[in-house]
Each structure stands twice: as structure tokens, then as C-alpha cells.
């Protein structure tokens, strides 16, 4: 039995209606609610709409400037690593 590809179905992620024949493209490329693995490989699944924010702010794998960059330090560190405390051992943040 062949079903019509133009019948409207709901996306299981965002609940928006889409033609059945276009649902795969919506889920694979467009749907903002689809959970994707963090691009920085922290192991977290993040909704597509929040990937940018997660990668810049929330991800423990985010690379940041040394807190003393304004004073001339060019070192970059991963937030979750112990390197920041090793790099700036006497600093209190």
C-alpha cells in the first residue's frame, strides 16, 4: 500500500505539520528541536536551535582566552580542562 507523500503529518520533534514527503528533509536539515550531538564532542545532545549558544557559552569543551588576555596573554584554554588552573595558579576568579 502506497500512502500519499503530500498528506500532512506532525514532526515528532517540533510538532509542526509537514507533508510526509518533506518530513525527512525537515528533520535532517531544518527542525530546530532535533537533538544533535555537540560539535565540540562534549557528549551532550543539544537542540539544533541551541547549538550555537551551547558551543560558545555552555559547553565544557569551549575554548576561551586566558582571563588575562587584556594584559597580553595569548593563551587559549578549554574551560573544563585543568590547564586553566595550571596556567593561572595564583588567580582567583
Mean pLDDT by 10 residues, the chain (93 residues): 90 97 97 97 97 92 89 88 74 58
Per-residue pLDDT at 34: 98
Chain-centroid distance, C-alpha 60: 11
Per-residue pLDDT at 78: 86
With H, G, I as helix, E, B as strand and everything else as coil, classify residue 38.
Answer: coil
Per-residue pLDDT at 66: 87
Cα distance from N-terminal residue to C-terminal residue, the chain: 65
Q: Which residues contact 93 (CB under 8 A, 6 or more apart)?
A: 67
Per-residue pLDDT at 57: 87
Per-residue pLDDT at 91: 63
Quote the pTM value.
0.72
CB 5 within 8 A of CB 18: no
Per-residue pLDDT at 1: 73
CA-CA distances (angstroms) from residue 92 to 23, 28, 67, 68?
51, 44, 10, 12
Amino acid at each position: 500500500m502506497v500512502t500519499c507523500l503530500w498528506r500532512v503529518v506532525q514532526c515528532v520533534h517540533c510538532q509542526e505539520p509537514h507533508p510526509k514527503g518533506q518530513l525527512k528533509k525537515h528533520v535532517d536539515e531544518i527542525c530546530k528541536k532535533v537533538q544533535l550531538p555537540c560539535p565540540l564532542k562534549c557528549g551532550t545532545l543539544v537542540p539544533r536551535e541551541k547549538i550555537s549558544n551551547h558551543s560558545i557559552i555552555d559547553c565544557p569543551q569551549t575554548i576561551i582566552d586566558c582571563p588575562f588576555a587584556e594584559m597580553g596573554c595569548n593563551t587559549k584554554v578549554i574551560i573544563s580542562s585543568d590547564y586553566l588552573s595550571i596556567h593561572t595558579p595564583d588567580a582567583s576568579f
